[in-house]
Amino acid sequence: MIQELIYTMFTNKVVLSLIFVFIAAEIIKLITFAYKQKCFSPSCLVKGGGMPSTHTSLVSTLTFSVLFNFGFSILWVAIAVFSIIVARDAFGVRKHAGEHAKLLNIMLQDSKLRKKYENKSGKKQMQESIGHTPIEVFAGVILGLIISLIIFII
SS3 for 110?
Answer: coil
Q: What is the DSSP letter of 38?
A: T
How would you write the pLDDT of the chain (154 residues) with one tens digit per residue? 889 888 888 899 999 999 999 999 999 988 888 787 766 666 665 666 778 889 999 999 999 999 999 999 999 999 999 999 998 888 776 666 666 666 776 666 766 666 665 555 555 655 555 667 889 889 999 999 999 999 999 8
**pTM exceeds 0.85:** no
The residue type found at 98 is: G
Say how far apart CA 8 and CA 2 lie, in whole Å.
Answer: 10
Per-residue pLDDT at 127: 56
Say how far apart CA 107 and CA 35 lie, in whole Å.
Answer: 31
Cβ atoms of 104 and 51 within 8 Å: the answer is: no
